[in-house]
Structure 1
Amino acid sequence: WTDSANFPVVNPFRGRGGGVDAFLVRYNASGTAVEFATYLGGSGDDRALAVAVDGLGQPVLAGSTASTNFPLQNAVQTMSAGGRDAFVAKLNASGTGFIFSTYLGGAGQDEGRAVAVDAAGNVYVGGATYSSNFPTLHAFQTTSAGGQDGFLAKFGSGGSRLYSTLLGGQADDRVNAVAVDAAGQLYATGATASANFPVVAGGLQPALGGGQDAFVVKVSAAGSSRMYSTYLGGSGSVPEEGLAIAVDATGSAYVAGATSSANFPLVNAFQSVYRGGGADAFAARLNPAGSALVFSSYYGGSGADYAYGIAVNSAGIVHLAGQTTSINLPTRDPIQGANAGLQDAFVAQLEASGANLIWASYVGGSQADGATAMALDSSGLIHLVGVTQSTDFPRQRPIQSSHAGLLDSFVARVRGYSAGAPQAVSVSPSSGSGNGGTFRFTYSDPNQHQDLEEVRALWSSSLNEAGACSVRYLRAANTLWLRDDAGSAWLGPATPGASGTLENGQCALTLASAAVSGSGTTLTLDLAVSFKSVFGGARNVYLYAIDLMGLNSGWQQRGTWTVANFAPEALSVTPSSGSGIAQTFQFTFRDGDGHNQLQWVYALIHSSLVQSNGCYLRYTRADNTLWLRSDDGTAWLGPVTPGGSSTLENNQCRLLASASSASGSGLILTLNARFEFKGPFAGAKNVWLYAIDTANQASNWQLRGAWTVAGFLPEGVSVTPSSGSGNSQTFRFLFRDYDGVADLQWVYALLDTAISGANACYLRYRRSDNTLWLRNDANNNWLGPVTVGSSGTVENTQCRVAASGSAAVATGATLQLDVPVTFKSAFLGNKNVYLYAIDNSGQISGWQQRGTWTVPGTAPEAVSVTPASGSGGSQTFRFSFRDADGFTHLQWVCALFQTSITGANACYWRYTRAENTLWLRNDAGTAWLGPVSPGTSGTIENNQCRLVGSTSAVSGAATTLNVDVTIQFKTAFAGAKNVYLYAIDAMNLISDWQLRGTWTVP
């Protein structure tokens, strides 16, 4: 029990109830972890005094409670009857809930002090009561004879009460311990001060030997009768009592406790003298009838010694545990040879005869410690529980490494006597060769095979677990493990006989074929092992065993084995045949040693088995990378990672990593690779596969499929000349279709500023009938056709196409089309040359710009000024300009009044046709002033002149532009001036400055 609010709970079923609470903790089999730890109690004082576990792993507790709200379930007594009551509680195996929980008591003080379970899950409880109304059922004693009485009770596995009886005389009596045999017969021991304790005739000791004696009672399975009942003690008084009891398969009871009697009944004792100190522990064995002692002995020193636990194994060896203040307690081969403090726990083993101490040891630290209970596991190890005040209590692999309060519990596992270290005996077969087989490993332990904690087998060229096949088996957990390639960690666990495998880079264990058996001192381990090719070669077989206390056999070489190596296989390509310019291929490879033994795999798509000018792929499994062979076949391009965003390409194909992947399972490696083939690679190809494993064994090249590279998009390749200017030109247009020229249906050429067929020079050629066509101005019909090489022409407003000078030549994948084109003046300017193609299946190239061409125009003219001469301070002048391409082709026109051609301190204006605006140059000749629109009310002026917008005007017709400008000259500009004119068209062709008149400013 605990009064700690911070008791270390794990997956608790119940929280703290208050005050003092019982607790229950379950550890894993190795004692290295807590599986659950929970409080158990109500708001009062609750104390668990005994625990047992049934065959299903379901724990049962007995104790006492002062809580009126103790947690109950399926209770036979649902309320506290007064004072303290005993309680009995059974939990499920996971510790998450009750199977049953009940009060057990009357109006006085009651406590459950002992509990046991049988094979059917029935629960047996023993304790003490002061209640005159203690609830009895099918009892051999229904009423209290006086003072405190013991009690015994049996509950079914679900919590039903099967019997309940008192046990005692007129003085104080209590049951301290119970045990049950295979027939359901109950054994009890405790203390009695009653001279009329209910003994059964024929028992070992019919009368009370002193002030208080131990007693031993055997009760029938029904609980209705005592099969024997006897005192056990000498002339001493307190303390003399039985504190622990066990029973063997023959029905012999083993009792342990404490005595202060110098004449305690002894038989075949290994210690025949009471050594004082207030109490010596004792151990005794009764015959099955309870009529005689088989052995009985003191166990103690000069201090106070109490035995609280006793257990017997299948060999009849008796195990004791308790506490001692003696500094001279008998020990033998101890793990701790001396008392370390005020009081220590002890643990001891006696021969089956009781005549000799086999092994004994102190267990404790510098303060007070004591073992309060013990149990044996199937391996024969001793499990101790108890309490300690010592901060230096000895610990090994602790879950809680430090003392947390005034008094802590402890749990310890010890073995005791050892007959010797385990042995690594043999492997069968002890020699041979192959890629695997079933091996039988034999180990032995003189302390029985259950004493083996771990056994190992190692295939390696030396005693090194790195890069080896190293297996271990943990007996208690029944699990197999395999060492990783680095030799630094264990892979697993896995259960022998289960499905699946354990594997590393060297070997694989088939779990379904693994088996373990143990008998006596021998453990046999059968393993089905498959070796990997990388592990090929001669190997030694080493064995190792270690027992529960750490004694080991050391590594022992017990055999040899030569591991063969499987060659890899290049299995298949999917699809195995077909055609197209792009495809995701699935390449499949196999290695009998496991797919992770493949080092490289290759795929070659080519017309012949050569590396150059092919689509040749390599995959490296170790680093998950793809590579592509260069065109000349001398280097690898890459790498890229499958699933990544990169690509690899040569002149034959492009590999897309994003659509590629690699995966392995068992013996198979699957590689998915996405290829886009290129035109020069068109045609029928074979698909070869190749693989190399980590031992450099190869599959050789294997022909696994065929593929026709076809279905390419047509291309508009080029125009010659690709740039230039002129009003006529024979253009050579080049188109390509890697599926052959015969796959081309239409080809197109468009000369225009943008991709628009309206008002363009837009022609098409149909290969099937060798005809040329020209698009009309409105872009809603084709003009023509004319036959290439014939005498006809086809024209629109932009251009004329002459068939007579045209030619079409097909070679392989290329179509060459020569077309003479004469441009018209309306089409002058800078043009782009676009090409387009359509194949027979309707695939298109899309429009591609392949050149530029300038259709030249005529330079503009600065024609005249009217009046061409004169004088005056103000005048409206008409300036005339001409552009053979149309007056709308004019960009700017200018006039300059000055003594020479300079814009500074001049009357220099500009007209912008597109926006209909007039501008005047500033005095410095560095910037334009304005604008003002002709016909509007605005003016612009500098120090030489003023332009008047309201009387100015512009008109244009055909090729002529007239600009009427009213100019008011300023006196500062007086003198004779020349009149110069200038024009720039939309193609930036210029007239240059032209002297067209004179004017005198007065």
Structure 2
Amino acid sequence: PAPVRYSADVPGGRLFLEPGGLTYSLLAGVPHAHEATAPAASTSIKAHALRVTFEGGTPRPTLSAETQTAEIRHYLRGNDPQRWARDVPGFRQLRYAGIWPGIGAHFYENQNQQLEYDFELAPAADPAAIRLRYDGAEGLTLTTEGSLEIRTSVGVLRELAPRAWQTDAAGHRRAVSCAYGLEGRTVRFRLGAYDRQRPLTIDPTVLFSSYTGSTADNWGFTATYDAQGNLYSGGIVFGAGYPATTGAFRTTFGGVIDIGIIKYNTAVSGPAARVWATYLGGTQADFPHSLVVGSQGDVFLLGTTSSPDYPTSAAAYDRTFNGGTPLTVFGSSNLPNGSDLVITRLSANGSALVGSTYLGGSGNDGLVGGAGSTPLVRNYGDTFRGDILLDAADNIYLASNTSSPNFPVSNGLGASFQGGSLDAVVCKLNATASSLLWSSFLGGSGADAAYSLRLGASGSLYVGGGTSSPNFPTTPGTLHPAARGGVDGFVARLSGAGNLLEKSTYLGTSAYDQGYFLQLDGSGAVYVLGQSLGSYPVTAGRYQNPGSKQFIHKLDADLTATAFSTVFGSGRSTIDISPTAFLVDQCNRI
């Protein structure tokens, strides 16, 4: 809103700095299970707004920023570019000047990268003029240790007993006795004797230790790198918005989730490593699934959204949100409009949309389990699996899933939805996401989802995923052309034009199995990382931990024979990890 000049992340929420005071928007934490089979968490978040007013101060004191950080932020929210904010700098210090006569305030990042503030008094300024009114608090109390406790519906905000000091002519800091004075909802400072002809500093220290909200605003979903060794993360950002009123209120996960993409320079450490951050999304929940960097340094994103106003480019393949049925995913995130896939290309500096489009049909798209319960969702985060890949010309390939019978397909091998709760989809778009070059369903009568992609040297496209279909499309002569039982993994090889299923096989046992990641080595051999609750075959002479439920399987390029397979983990009868990354390097090390 217009009055807010600056904002800062604080543990459990956000602080907004305005001419007349400060506003805290604080969120409570919600316990969240680590397995998809656990009970769902609440979709509603307890929150609290607290406003601190400079009582009796000038209505518009000077507010200026100092010590700019290296990081630049871009806010591409909604589908109106006129409302986007680009090249927003960050600062480590802010100063209010002239709040009361001769009195200002200094907000800064301390050596622990925490927010701190001081009141700075010029010679002869009257400290009795400092009056801080707390609106929205459920109660204010002074403790026997001299701290100020501000009770809210989501926790206790504590300001430690204030310190005060002056610097003498020799440059030595001299302590001045200082304590809080509480008059109803107004806080003042009571000082002992000091030299009124010298400047005075009063330093309250704010503690957020009792807040249960996350101390970070970004939950990681995906990551990638570029040719220069820079790293990129994609996550969901819980942006505590500016509250309309003070006191307790409730919000929803979906209403505060945007996509956050951050570029890091690996040559430096600490906060200086953040080169830029772009916040992307609409008025509802948005999620990143996969990132990749193109030949020109642009960042390509595959994600999902429930936002009818997700930012799209003028020449996008589809600028209209197709919607679906309301659903809750991740145990807590409400998508009231259903979901569409989104494909977005950001410029190398993160500030502009080179291309961005919706992709979907009338059902839910892009979310494993988007049509309800599915045996494919087993682990924390499985709902958001999918992959994006580029060729040498930066054409875009994606692997995902859909519950839409009318998902846009063209020039591909599978022209019709095969039934069940969802089908896998594999698509190719041009480099700016303005044209759908080909698109295909891939599935059978059960639930099917594609998780991983790799391009072969000949231009063929390898796809990996999971299926509960007894009739998933396979080809004769491959390792397992028939279903193994229950949920299986699959690996398929499509022609570069997307219109031919060259090879396809199931992977697994008679129990639950899925293959989450594919890699190819220099000879074209295929490596699969997955999970199995069965007795997955182990090749003699290979490293193994018997009885473990994670597997690595190497097949030949035609998917006809096993080079080796093995299992790793704790040896227990349960799955140990949710696979999130997999790499085979140039020396064939896994």
- The equivalent residue for 1:314 is 522
- The equivalent residue for 1:348 is 553
> Which of 124, 141, 149 is 2:340 aligned to?
149
- The equivalent residue for 1:174 is 366
Matches of 2:214 and 2:545 in 1, distance apart? 43
Q: Is the 8 A contact 1:136 1:165 kept in 2?
A: yes
Letter in 1 for 2:480: Q
- The equivalent residue for 1:208 is 417
Letter in 2 for 1:91: Y
Higher relative contact order (CA 8 A, sep 6+): 2
* Structure-2 change in CA distance of 1:69 and 1:378 (3 Å): farther
- The equivalent residue for 2:317 is 140
Letter in 1 for 2:300: Y
Q: Is the 8 A contact 1:217 1:229 kept in 2?
A: yes
Say whether residues 1:374 and 2:572 are aligned partners.
no
Matches of 1:260 and 1:229 in 2, distance apart? 22
Matches of 2:295 and 2:29 in 1, distance apart? 36
Alpha-carbon RMSD across the aligned residues, in angstroms, is: 2.9
- The offset of 1:273, in angstroms, is 2.1
Letter in 2 for 1:124: F
> Which of 414, 434, 441 is 1:231 aligned to?
441
- The offset of 1:332, in angstroms, is 6.1
Query: Percent of counterpart pairs with the same letter?
Result: 33
> Which of 505, 525, 536 is 1:297 aligned to?
505
Letter in 2 for 1:53: Y
- The offset of 1:45, in angstroms, is 5.7
> Which of 522, 534, 550 is 1:326 aligned to?
534
- The offset of 1:177, in angstroms, is 1.0
- The offset of 1:82, in angstroms, is 3.7
Q: Is the 8 A contact 2:387 2:399 kept in 1?
A: yes
- The offset of 1:285, in angstroms, is 1.2
Matches of 1:331 and 1:358 in 2, distance apart? 8
* Structure-2 change in CA distance of 1:301 and 1:337 (3 Å): farther
- The offset of 1:120, in angstroms, is 2.8
- The equivalent residue for 1:575 is none
* Structure-2 change in CA distance of 1:69 and 1:315 (3 Å): farther
* Structure-2 change in CA distance of 1:266 and 1:83 (3 Å): same
Say whether residues 1:258 and 2:466 are aligned partners.
yes
Letter in 1 for 2:434: S
Matched residue SS, 2:580: strand
Matches of 1:333 and 1:235 in 2, distance apart? 39
- The offset of 1:44, in angstroms, is 6.2
Q: Is the 8 A contact 2:296 2:348 kept in 1?
A: yes
> Which of 546, 565, 571 is 1:338 aligned to?
546
Matches of 1:81 and 1:273 in 2, distance apart? 41
- The equivalent residue for 2:449 is 241
Higher-Rg structure is 1
* Structure-2 change in CA distance of 1:130 and 1:331 (3 Å): farther
Matches of 1:230 and 1:106 in 2, distance apart? 28
Matches of 2:566 and 2:321 in 1, distance apart? 42
1:33-72 matched pairs, under 5 angstroms: 43=215, 46-68=218-240
Deviations 1:91-150 (A, max 9, x none): 112354222211111111110011111233221111111111111113101112222111
1:784-933 matched pairs, under 5 angstroms: none
Say whether residues 1:283 and 2:460 are aligned partners.
no
Q: Is the 8 A contact 2:485 2:509 kept in 1?
A: yes
Matches of 2:540 and 2:429 in 1, distance apart? 37
Matched residue SS, 2:502: strand
Deviations 1:617-665 (A, max 9, x none): xxxxxxxxxxxxxxxxxxxxxxxxxxxxxxxxxxxxxxxxxxxxxxxxx
> Which of 218, 223, 229 is 2:428 aligned to?
218
- The equivalent residue for 1:91 is 264
The count of residues paired between Structure 1 and Structure 2 equals 334
Deviations 1:296-339 (A, max 9, x none): 11111122112121111221111111222112456565311632
Letter in 2 for 1:49: F
Letter in 1 for 2:306: Y
Say whether residues 1:273 and 2:450 are aligned partners.
no
* Structure-2 change in CA distance of 1:91 and 1:274 (3 Å): same
Letter in 2 for 1:84: I
Say whether residues 1:358 and 2:563 are aligned partners.
yes
1:87-166 matched pairs, under 5 angstroms: 87-94=260-267, 95=269, 96-137=272-313, 138-147=315-324, 148-159=339-350, 160-166=352-358
Matches of 1:298 and 1:136 in 2, distance apart? 37
Letter in 1 for 2:262: A
* Structure-2 change in CA distance of 1:333 and 1:217 (3 Å): farther
Matches of 2:535 and 2:264 in 1, distance apart? 41
Matches of 2:294 and 2:564 in 1, distance apart? 30
- The offset of 1:46, in angstroms, is 3.0
Deviations 1:799-842 (A, max 9, x none): xxxxxxxxxxxxxxxxxxxxxxxxxxxxxxxxxxxxxxxxxxxx
Letter in 2 for 1:273: A
Structure 2 unpaired stretches of 5+: 1-10, 12-26, 32-112, 114-212, 243-252, 325-338, 368-385
- The offset of 1:156, in angstroms, is 2.1
- Length-normalised TM-score, structure 2: 0.53
- The equivalent residue for 1:681 is none
* Structure-2 change in CA distance of 1:82 and 1:43 (3 Å): farther
* Structure-2 change in CA distance of 1:107 and 1:43 (3 Å): farther
- The equivalent residue for 2:401 is 191
Structure 1 unpaired stretches of 5+: 6-16, 22-37, 71-79, 383-1002
* Structure-2 change in CA distance of 1:193 and 1:67 (3 Å): same
Q: Is the 8 A contact 2:521 2:586 kept in 1?
A: no
Matches of 2:414 and 2:30 in 1, distance apart? 40
